[in-house]
Chains A and B, each alone.
Chain A
Amino acid sequence: MSKLNPKTLASFQSQMSRPPNWASVGMDTGGIAAGAREVFDALVAEKEQKGVAAEIRQTGSNGLAYADPIVQVKTEQLPLITYGSVDSELAAVIVENHLVKNQLIEDHIIATRERSTTLDEQKPIAILVKDTSEEQGDKTSFFQLSLQQELEVHGIKDVPVHRAMDMGIYDQGLCIQLLPSGVTYSNVLTPDLRRIISQSVEKGIVVEDLLVEDADPQQKIVLRNCGSVDPECIEDYLQHGGYQGLGRLLKDLTPEQGIDELKTSGLRGRGGAGFPVWLKWKLTRDPESDQKYVICNADEGDPGAFMDRSVLEGDPHSVLEGLIIAGYCVGANKGYLYIRAEYPLAVKRIQKAIDEARQKGLIGENILGSGFSFNADIRLGAGAFVCGEETALIASIEGKRGSPIPRPPFPSVKGLFEQPTSINNVETLASVAAILENSGKWYAQFGTEESRGTKVFAVTGKVRNAQLVEVPMGIPIRKIIYDVCGGVLSGNKLKAVQTGGPSGGVIPEDLLDTPISYESLSKLGSIMGSGGMLVMDQNDSMVDVAKFYLKFCVDESCGKCAPCRVGGYQLLQLLEKIFRGKALDTDIEQIKRICEAMQKASLCGLGQTAPNPVLSTLRYFEEEYTAFIEGGASYARKVKRQLADLAKQSA
């Protein structure tokens, strides 16, 4: 592999060499757990057996975790088609039918969310149908048949109709999507079928009153390559515009100008606290020092969060590129990626990315002839949540016990090995590379005045589609839950959404229209956090939820400072007491008192925010606490039984 220079790097921009027929498998940890490796092997075996000229590739996750394993197929005749819930049997069918015969496969297609609102005169090559209501049973097959009959009536024989697995639209009755345009209709009734055929299929005219005009609210910047590039192939990343941001920075910009670009972008730290990235970099750049460091914080540990893992596994070079950019801007020639050891695939792929980047001359001495040198290494976290805290993370890299130390001095002044150090999280660094590639001004167009850009959320819990979502800041939480993730499971009533993981709080249903931003969430008693989003429905007990999150922090407390170490434990005892129906009114006061001591007197963010789930559930759902106090042990037993039954059902 030869080293790149500015010219050869730039030439990648226009290249996109890919064979006409290919299939890719989402091989992130989630995909692999669901069987993606078997699917991959089956695709390869079937392809070879049948002698099909097609490339079988691996990618990371495209975010649709609920539909793992995912296979994307592209042939000359058909647009890019995404299949969900694929197994090895289906993989063989995909090769035989889709790759060889250009036939789509029933019940596994995930319709594109890039919905067009215009049609050309070309007849569609296929139609997807899906009943998105499911209230009185799934009528998809019925509509498929109706549509096929109607097409026959119109004498159209070459437009197949296929049942889709997911339309990306929910509770909107029958939905229909025309391929390849992506024009999508919702709330289609039987009489409408005729109109759709005579207008759209035959004449290329859009049926306005059925048209879905709302585009998918997602905006993929961080996840721009996840699910499309091969994470273990630097050429693929380069062909997707990779390292262009770094190239531009090294060629055209001084470190200060690089920092200015970040300032224009308005990007704030995505690890949770939202500190302006440009300022952190400037504060690290300013002190005079022979040695500075940049660190990528990849110690993602919130329960239910998998944003960083998906990026590390799906687009490792974007993180590495961001880290090199950070190094150049702050004046550091050494970077560490602190990755939790429980992410072995991420570690493997980042290591591969480092090796490949070194071979390409993007890491090492005199990068792209700029005179800037940079090296990167991985350090493994040993599974302590608190090591996501900057100073604890630094201690851990230094080989010490991972406990926070007081700030100031901030790491930007005195960090790793006592040298100025900038620590940025995975999502931040992946955004940085995109910003340098496209400009700060481009980035600043997304989001709100105070909170620019996009944010990735891992939406889990009682939601129809547990998945990764990347949306512009300022979008209402409700839109994420309902428009992207399909709303609440089995038609239940949404009760609240927890953001910010164990450091965050719950947001009740009636406040879900709040536009999402660092400020708005904190006003509601929650936080942005790193991006966990847990959906709870009417059956969830808020006391139980608070207890769950608090227990996490109590287990993960490093034990250094008394307010967190003892406060968390005692708080948990009080919640247990309430949950057993043994508490008194005065215990609520005691809970509030301990919460305050923890918030105000804990040393680091873990202890300061650990009471948030308790305080926010008390704020919005105090009646659930008083119900336990008034109802006593018999009430507590009843709630416990209900929760156990529900758990059994969902299992």
Chain B
Amino acid sequence: MIQRIVNATINGIPVSVPYGTSILDAARAVQVKIPVLCKHPDLGATAACGLCIVRIAGSQKMPRACATPLENGMEIFTHDGELTEIRRSVIELILSNHPSECLSCGRNTNCELQTLAAEFGIRQDSIERYVRDLPQDASNGSIIIDFNKCIKCGRCVQVCQEVQDVWALSFLERGINTRMAPAGDILLSESPCIKCGQCAAHCPTGAIVENDETAAVWAALRDPEKHCTVQIAPSVRVALGEEFGYPPGTNLTKKIYAVMRRLGFKAVFDTNFSADLTIMEEANEFVERFAKGKGELPLITSCCPAWTDYMEKFHHDFVDNFSTAKSPQQMMGVMAKTYYSEKMGIDPAKHYQVSIMPCTAKKYELERDEEMFASGYQDVDITLTTRELARMIKQSGIAFEELADEEADSILGTYSGAGTIFGATGGVMEAAIRTAYYFVTNESLEGDAINVTPVRGLEGVKIADVDIKGTQVKVAVAHGMANVGKVLGEVRDARKAGKETPYHFIEVMACPGGCIGGGGQPYHTDIHTRMQRAAGLYNDDEKCAARCSHENPEIKQVYKEYLGHPNSEKAHKLLHTHYKAKKVYLK
């Protein structure tokens, strides 16, 4: 297809962009930034804020740059006295409907409205403030909504409805009383919310933030009775740096190990290790189902708690297809409080396990059901998001950037390349294929064959045929909940028609890009940051001595010393869980 090009000028600068490019994006291509508060690169233009108005020669109107495609011959003007004054008025209007609580806000110094107000040099509240006094919704332990701080940009509603297909959030009422809230004006905990946190990740202000639990972690660290250990999720290592000025994708694994010890953790584990453990159990499960016919196909991954919540609510006819293998977070927790504690002589009752996750739904997973207490205690005590960890580090007075590299603690710290790519969409599938291949053939993939490239990348649905010595395994990978429906729909249709399943193995992650784009990751995530973070993980994979989970020496040791073999009785008790149908609405 020939791409049509549009030629125009913006502030007198010639610009050539593909047909359909918005004036906003076209301007950015010639180094012109037009202020916006509602348009997010991940989302379509809603044209809510009214800040990106521009002037087109020959027209009286001031169209919105975000929603107006550039056309041939257009002469666009983005900045002049009148436009700036109107934008200033609009900002002042928005401020007049926003609390002046910047200093105690979760987004202080990181708020898009605050930044704009600062850039426009707004020095006084010229319009009388009117803010409704709506109570916060802290009913679900993952995210907290402060409705009063909402500027009605609509990003959270868009992402919840269009990207995640959850429809927990919507707009209620109208006029000045318009508010974003769970549809039906119920509590978030009664809504279909899957806790993915994409609303928080996309919110320009402090209206939706993660449930900050750093205080509890500080308290545990200061408690002499408690033996605090920590695990770090795969995708955290390539994103945390953004909070300290590193480019997205910079792999700071070893600095993070170091800072954890400085913060006071007695041992530092890596969730990459337990990702390898998950793969051992899950690949074994796949082989059992695929090669030996024991159980339903397709096998569907279950390491993403937002996805399992979504499935239990919206697709529970697939409960039996879910892998029973627990997520890496939970496997780490139970191994830390059983195997590790026994080995090190730590009283598991005093063992306090903290996980650092890119994810707000992981906070929910901690107490998902009684199987999350397989050690006899809560397996993981508390989850912090990447953003919360960054705040802890900043509070602690540690010059993070200057720390020397350190290693993780042995036995639950060594990881393979397969474990690290868990953090990106397609990574779980790729890791599972590497080990399933070995389980079926007793041979490891070598050379380039180890890279299952068709399941990599940010395409919403990725499909591949994997050859295991002549047997074709059909796999599908979906991320962003709105992409899941079509994949499961194909399976459902085949079932109804009595046909063979179109896929044998399906990986699903709730957030676009997988965990690297998680709802708890540093703000301002867009497709470029996702690509960079994913690249950071694949680089890490390449550098690993072991590329497959079954080759991880510590994994081998754990099975030898403690678990026996995948899905042994012990492994089943500690490392597996179950799913069930749930109501979409609890009210």
* Residues on A facing B (Cβ under 8 Å): 384, 386, 401, 403, 405-406, 408, 554-563, 565-570, 573, 590, 593-594, 596-597, 600-603
Contacts and interface: CB of A to CB of B under 8 A. Distances in A.
Given A406-B68, A597-B90, A601-B90, A561 B176 contact: no
A603 B93 contact: no
A596 B89 contact: yes
Contact of B64 (A567, A569, A603): A603
B233 interface: no
Given A406-B68, A555-B175, A603-B48, 18 more contacts: A403-B171, A406-B66, A408-B69, A556-B174, A557-B178, A559-B178, A560-B152, A562-B50, A562-B151, A565-B97, A565-B152, A566-B94, A566-B96, A567-B90, A568-B175, A600-B53, A601-B62, A603-B47
Contacts, number: 116
A249 to B, nearest CB: 35
Given A562-B152, A600-B86, A603-B64, A557 B126 contact: no
B67 interface: yes
Contacts of B152: 559-560, 562, 565
Contact of B176 (A401, A569, A600): A569
B173 interface: yes
A628 B62 CA distance: 34
A590 to B, nearest CB: 7
Contacts of A593: 85, 89
A554 B48 CA distance: 16
A384 B174 contact: yes
Contacts of B128: 570, 573
Contacts of A573: 128, 130
30 contacts: A386-B174, A401-B170, A401-B171, A403-B171, A406-B66, A406-B68, A555-B174, A556-B174, A556-B175, A557-B174, A557-B175, A559-B178, A560-B171, A561-B50, A562-B151, A563-B50, A565-B152, A565-B175, A565-B176, A573-B128, A593-B89, A594-B127, A596-B86, A597-B86, A597-B89, A600-B53, A601-B50, A601-B51, A601-B89, A603-B64
Contacts of A566: 93-94, 96-97, 176
A561 B51 CA distance: 10
A224 B217 CA distance: 79
Contact of B174 (A405, A559, A570): A559
B99 to A, nearest CB: 14
Nearest to A386: B174
B130 A570 contact: yes
B411 interface: no
B526 to A, nearest CB: 21
B154 interface: yes
Contacts of B87: 601
Contacts of B67: 406
Contacts of B173: 559
A384 B178 CA distance: 14
B175 A559 contact: yes
B175 A603 contact: no
Interface string B44-78: 01111111010000000010101111000000000
Contacts of A556: 174-175
A560 to B, nearest CB: 5
B86 A569 contact: no
A543 B242 CA distance: 54
A367 B518 CA distance: 57
At the interface, is chain B mostly helix, strand, loop or mixed?
loop
B378 to A, nearest CB: 41
A460 B172 CA distance: 34
A569 B175 CA distance: 8
A561 B154 CA distance: 10
Interface of B: 37, 45-51, 53, 62, 64, 66-69, 85-87, 89-90, 93-94, 96-97, 126-128, 130, 151-152, 154, 170-171, 173-178
Contact of A560 (B53, B69, B154): B154
A559 B177 CA distance: 8
A556 B176 CA distance: 10
A603 B45 CA distance: 12
A557 B64 CA distance: 19
Contacts of A557: 174-176, 178
A46 B90 CA distance: 66
B39 to A, nearest CB: 11
A557 B90 CA distance: 16
Contacts of B49: 561-562
Nearest to A570: B127
A75 B469 CA distance: 99
A600 B87 CA distance: 10
A562 B38 CA distance: 10
A562 B93 contact: yes
A412 to B, nearest CB: 16
A556 B67 CA distance: 24
B265 to A, nearest CB: 45
A594 B154 CA distance: 23
Contacts of B90: 562-563, 567, 597, 601
Contacts of B176: 554, 557, 559, 565-566, 568-569
Contact of B50 (A555, A569, A602): A602
Nearest to B95: A566
A570 B130 CA distance: 9
A408 B68 contact: yes
In order of increasing CB-CB distance, the 5 nearest A-B pairs are A559-B178, A406-B67, A601-B50, A597-B89, A569-B176
A558 B47 contact: no
Contacts of B96: 566, 570
A566 B67 CA distance: 21
Contacts of A405: 46-47
Contacts of B130: 569-570, 573
A594 B93 contact: yes
A406 B50 contact: no
Contacts of A403: 171
Interface centre among B53, B62, B128, B175 (most CB of A within 10 A): B175
A565 B64 contact: no
Contacts of B174: 384, 386, 555-559
B64 A406 contact: yes
Contacts of A565: 97, 152, 175-176, 178
B433 to A, nearest CB: 38
B79 to A, nearest CB: 15
Nearest to A557: B175
Contacts of B64: 406, 603
Contacts of B46: 405-406, 560
A204 to B, nearest CB: 60
A409 B363 CA distance: 42
A554 B96 CA distance: 16
A565 B98 CA distance: 13
Nearest to A385: B174
A340 to B, nearest CB: 16
Contacts of A561: 47-50
A408 to B, nearest CB: 7
A563 B97 CA distance: 11
Given A556-B174, A557-B174, A597-B93, A603 B50 contact: yes
Contacts of A558: 174-175, 178
B126 A590 contact: yes
B240 to A, nearest CB: 34
Contact of A563 (B93, B171, B175): B93
A405 B174 CA distance: 16
B151 A601 contact: no
A109 B505 CA distance: 85
A559 B171 contact: yes
Contacts of B151: 562
A569 B174 CA distance: 12
Nearest to B64: A406
Nearest to A560: B48
Given A406-B67, A601-B53, A562 B47 contact: no
A269 to B, nearest CB: 18
A170 B85 CA distance: 51
B48 A562 contact: yes
